[in-house]
Amino acid sequence: MANVLELRDVSFVRNGNRILDQLSWSVDEADRWVVLGPNGAGKSTILQLAAAATHPTSGTIDVLGERVGKVDVFELRTRIGLAATGLARRIPAAERVGDVVLTAAYAVTGRWHERYESLDLERAAEVMDAWDLAPLANRPFGTLSDGERKRVQIARAVMTDPELMLLDEPAGSLDLGARESLLASLEEYASSSLAPAIVMVTHHVEEIPPGFTHGMLLREGRIVAAGPLDSVLTDAHLTETFGLGLEVAHDGGRWSARATR
Ligand SMILES: Nc1ncnc2c1ncn2[C@@H]1O[C@H](COP(=O)(O)OP(=O)(O)O)[C@@H](O)[C@H]1O
Ligand SMILES: [Mg+2]
């Protein structure tokens, strides 16, 4: 199995704040990781580093066999799928959903003068189907619900057939129905042997899709626990991560947590 992501002693310092502190972590191509932790723990920063969107202050990062800082990051970024809220804000409200997904093949937003190959059109149709977006193909992006927007973002990332998929709170702000339906889609995507390595950030254990294999718990820029989900999601680890007494339950492939009574 090949290593798709390797962080060694990575620290990230901004304005004198140590946002990540001596983090070491590796992700294998068959892994589906969830990164869990409270707000401000450094989860999104890890994803930005994994996406080669920013550089560590110290330590080394290898993504898809390339050392960040030593290779052409533009080339490297075309091999990484990233779905994060910040990117959604850059999508023009008037752009049709079909074009939002299609233009991912060209790493742009806004359909201007690119010429699309029929292969790309076929692939876009396939991805739209898989993420239940076909009925929305002609809708302007700005008219979609939060849940629909999240699906479009993920479909846009899937469209490029990445070797590493990074999802930052894909189920954040969704209502119960939209969350459950997105989790079912993520479960299906993650279960395919063709799917890339996946790292998904969340702060709720309820949002972990069945089939995810590994977990990292993060608190104030440090790893509390990392490894196979069963060994990581314990009462003691969650309690330490979130700073209050928690008990965790695992049933039918799904996780839940509540304050200790
Ligand atoms: N570029 C930056 N400059 C200063 N502080 C930052 C920067 N990026 C993130 N932070 C701070 O680092 C901490 C971790 O941020 P983040 O990775 O977004 O956490 P999370 O995604 O776990 O909520 C937060 O306290 C945030 O305010
Ligand atoms: Mg975040």
Mean pLDDT of the chain: 92
Any atom of ligand 1 within 6 Å of the Cβ of 16: no
Residue 17, helix vs strand vs coil: strand
Testing ligand 1's pocket by substitution, the residue of 14, 15, 20, 168 carrying the most ligand atoms inside 8 A of its CB is 14
Ligand nearest the Cα of residue 45 is: 1
Tokens (6 digits) for 21: 């502190």
- The β-bridge relationship of strands 58-63 and 66-67 is antiparallel
Average pLDDT over residues 157-179: 92
Whose Cα sits closest to atom 26 in ligand 1? 40
Nearest atom of ligand 1 to the alpha carbon of 54? 1
For residue 89, pLDDT beyond 90: no
- pLDDT over 90 at 180, yes or no: yes
146, 178 contact by CB (below 8 A): yes
CA 200 to CA 6: how far, in whole Å? 16
Looking at all shown ligands, the one closest to residue 18's CA atom is 1
- Burial of residue 8 (CB within 10 Å: 0-12, 13-18, 19+) is middle
Q: How confident is the model at residue 133, as a pLDDT?
A: 95
pLDDT of residue 70: 86
Does the beta carbon of 14 lie inside 6 Å of ligand 1?
yes
CA distance 46 to 172: 18
The ligand minimizing its distance to the Cα of 218 is: 1
Rounded distance, CA 130 to CA 240, Å?
38
Q: Letter for the amino acid at 241?
A: T
pLDDT score, position 1 = 56
pLDDT number for residue 72: 86
What pLDDT does residue 112 have? 54
Across 130-221, the runs of DSSP E, i.e. the strands, are: 164-168, 197-202, 214-219
Q: Which of 19, 39, 46, 218 to mutate to test the pocket of ligand 1 (most atoms within 8 A of CB)?
A: 19
What are the pLDDT digits (tens) for 215-234? 999 999 999 999 999 999 99
What's the rounded mean pLDDT across residues 243-253? 96
pLDDT band, very low/low/confident/very high, at 109 (cuts 50, 70, 90): low
